[in-house]
Amino acid sequence: MSARKTDEIAGAGLKPNQRPELAALDDETVARALTRMHLIRKFEEAAEASYMRGLIHGTMHLSIGQEASAVGTTLPLEAHDYILSTHRGHGHCIARGAEPKLMFAEFFGKETGYCKGRGGSMHIADVEGGNLGANGIVGGGLPIAVGVGMSIKAQKNGRVCMVFFGDGASNEGAFHEALNMASIWKLPVVFVCENNKYGMSMDIGRAMAVANVADRASAYAMPGHCLDGNDLAGVAAVAREAIAQARSGGGPSLIECKTYRWRGHSKSDRNLYRTKEEIEEWRSQDPIRRLEAELKAHDRFDAAALIKLEEDAQREIDSAVEFARTCPDPDPKDLTRDVYAL
Amino acid sequence: MPSDTLEAPAAIRELSYAEAAREALAQAMEADERVFLFGEDVGVYGGAFGVSGDLVHRFGTDRVIDTPISELGIAGAAVGAAITGMRPVLEIQFSDFVTLAMEQIVNQAAKIRFMFGGKASVPMVVRLPGGSGTGAAAQHSQSLEAWFAHVPGLKVLQPSTPYDAKGMLLAAIDDPNPVLIFEHKLLYKTKGHVPAEAYRVPIGQAAIRREGADITIVGSSIMALKAQAAAERLAAEGISAEVIDLRSIRPIDFTTIAESVRKTHRLLVVYEGVKTMGIGAEISAMIAESEVFDFLDAPIIRLGGADAPIPYNPVLEKAAVPQEDDIVAAATNLVRRGEA
């Protein structure tokens, strides 16, 4: 929470040099955003450490460095809105409010996890919380979002569906089919591309004929926004606009967040396709430290308050790991339990 | 269930297979606002095989939705609508085009419930006109049902009569799982008794179309009809064939097959899909692995489609899938072999 009381902020008015995107976020919102960014970072660091310590098998796709896009885009969503995520989806889950301890339990394959240990890192879903699932198939969620949009429209429930995908997915047919259908039917869908420059090892410059994924929006007659994906406030401002448009019947938008994954594609990645210098260059644009620096510069939070947010997040993640470690494995007799609904 | 009120012959109402399916769609849409139809040319065109007919005029373009030619996209849209409270019924114009939609059906629809630990279900229906005999050649004539029957999480149906076309479609729409219905294109114009009320044919129950003592012939879709015609001819030759119409490929009604084989001691499995690794292989193996194996007086025979794409030339096309003559010959051979 803010080190200063909200009424003092309101009384003081805006600092003249505070940009409107940041000013639009009140202290409570910005603290929530920062907390979630910390939770994502620390969740993934703990996931990586758990892997190294042999606590899990399987693989994982870390989004360290991409926290601002996950949190910024989802910040203006309402509680009943939907998201669909990707194989690199821990961040989207946490940004949407998933409980780290249930996510860790899922990551560890435990019966107490979000998906009772059947889904794992790549399939975490919190259907009741509006998270319709991460996805092991590149672009797999894109057409599903179209159907969610159809459902929202038919049920007239005023919701919005936000679907995440990577730059690589924008080269899949699913992307083009989904954007076209969402646009012709003016569905309440927000397409969010997290462009981290690589589809596994394939540089976007070699994989894509246009410079930006957002350029492709014009082919589907929808707004395309190309953003600095490491700028929380800037991302949130554009997302707010796209969500409002979707909710009011104005149809879908395509948001491209240019960002970077600091880690490899997955645990098998030996990083042969990019340089240390490039990674270092992007690490210097750490979205978390950038936001903190800006908040301090505008005297909205002091250092102690910021440190407390980070420490609280670390504590939550530590206890989440401990919870997951002590949870039971699923019973093999339940192997086929949820193949069919009865 | 057949209606008691329709016992008098004068009251028997005949509909074509396509009309029966349309009536199921209309009744499901009337009964439940969550049901909607979509697919390529299902609107004013009425569906490539005339199944949707006038439904767009009766239910409007919000519930009978023409889609772009985007099979992957529309299959995914069905998944998304299904997991958020709707009951989508999707038509894949020719079942062959489902190859473009495999990702969403196999990776998403079939697995979501399991991957999410039972916290979501995917109540969607996909109708797929399939089969050969129209001269449309290799990319418009396949029988792909066995592919999907291999995927846990999916249900796969093959109604052969107008009665089942209606009752099984209504049952599929009620079902909380993804259900694929393969409708044989040559069956759309066939006519039969179809009660007016909204009845259901339970999924996973085979039908004994004809009782017999000497041999069990198992088929589904158009092959169940060919088997019945063959059985009539066999009867004239003194062979009493029991004909089982599978109707449901997954789940499969093994009990009915096993009981029949226990009685007749001989099994012939007939299917239009490619013989190798097909439905017949599965049924044969199920019998071989069960205690019913001891009741066999002769080897099981599979009569399946040729290991070749469906050819264009009509003579070749006919030769590529089992015909009535083939069934008669195989059954006769099997019974005589058993007697020898």
Residues of chain A numbered 112-171 and touching chain B (CB < 8 Å) = 113-119, 123, 125, 127-128, 132-133, 135-137, 140, 142-152, 154-155, 161
Q: Rounded to the nearest 10 degrees, how much is the dihedral formed by the CA atoms of B22, B28, B33, B36?
A: -40
- When pLDDT is cut at 50, 70 and 90, the band that residue B290 belongs to is very high
Q: What is the mean pLDDT of residues B302-329?
A: 98
A314, A315, A319, A321: CA torsion to nearest 10: 10
CB proximity B69 to A under 8 Å: no
Provide mean pLDDT across the span B18-24. Answer: 98
Residues 164-203, chain A, touching B (beta carbon < 8 A)? 173-174, 177-178, 180-181, 184
The mean pLDDT value for A306-324 works out to: 98
Q: Which residue of A has its CA nearest to B154?
A: A340
> What's the pLDDT score for residue A13?
52
Q: Is the pLDDT of residue A139 over 70?
A: yes
Distances, alpha carbon B318 to alpha carbons A262, B131, B310, B313, in Å: 60, 12, 9, 9
The pLDDT of residue B126: 98
Q: Considering CB atoms only, which of A115, A143, A146 is closest to B116?
A: A115
Cβ of A147 and B81 within 8 Å? yes
The mean per-residue pLDDT over the stretch A157-170 comes to: 98
- pLDDT value for B33: 97
* pLDDT, position A82: 98
Average pLDDT over chain A, rounded to whole?
Answer: 94
Measure the CA–CA gap between A154 and B32, rounded to whole angstroms. Answer: 13
Q: Is A302 on the interface with B (CB under 8 A)?
A: no
The total of other beta-carbon atoms located within 10 Å of residue B200's CB is: 17
Any B CB within 8 A of A341 CB: yes
Q: Is the pLDDT of residue B234 over 90?
A: yes
Percentage, residues of chain A above pLDDT 90: 91
Residue B257, token pair as written in the block = 């097959």
pLDDT value at position A267?
Answer: 81
Kind and range of the H or E run holding A36: helix A27-52
pLDDT digit string (tens) for A239-269? 999 999 999 999 999 999 999 999 999 888 8
Q: What's the pLDDT score for residue A57?
A: 84
CA dist A2 and A6 (Å) reads 8
Cα separation, A233 vs A228, whole angstroms: 10
Task: State which residue of chain A sits closest to B116, comparing Cα positions.
Answer: A115
Q: Give the DSSP H/E element, type plus range, for residue B287.
A: helix B279-289
At residue B143, does pLDDT exceed 70?
A: yes
DSSP-assigned beta bridge partners for residue B37: B64, B89
Nearest to A193 by CA among A202, A183, A204, A184: A204
Residue A18 is predicted with a pLDDT of: 83
d(CA B286, CA A70): 50
DSSP assignment string, B17-64: HHHHHHHHHHHHHHH-TTEEEEETT-STT--TTSSSTTHHHHH-TTTE
Is residue B337 very low, low, confident or very high in pLDDT (cuts 50, 70, 90)? Answer: confident
| ipTM of this complex prediction, to 2 decimal places | 0.93
Which residues of B are catalytically annotated? 71, 140
Q: What average pLDDT does the segment B133-160 reach? A: 97
pLDDT of B9 strictly over 60: no
Amino acid at site B224: A
**CB within 8 Å of A307: residues ≥ 6 apart:** none
Rg (CA), chain A: 20
For residues A112 and A320, is the Cβ–Cβ distance under 8 A?
no
- Do B47 and B76 contact (CB within 8 A), yes or no? no
Find chain B residues with C-beta within 8 A of A173's C-beta. Answer: 72
Is B85 in Cβ contact with A151 (below 8 Å)?
yes
For the record, the structure tokens of A80 come out as 């009943």
Range of weakest confidence among A54-68, B84-98, B187-201, B261-275: A54-68
Cβ neighbours of A165 in B, within 8 Å: none
pTM (2 decimals)?
Answer: 0.94
Average pLDDT over residues A190-209: 96
pLDDT higher for B7 or A285? Answer: A285
Pairing assessment for the beta strands A202-203 and A253-258 based on DSSP bridges: unpaired
Instruction: Report d(CA B219, CA B302) in Å as an integer.
Output: 10
Residue A11, pLDDT score = 43
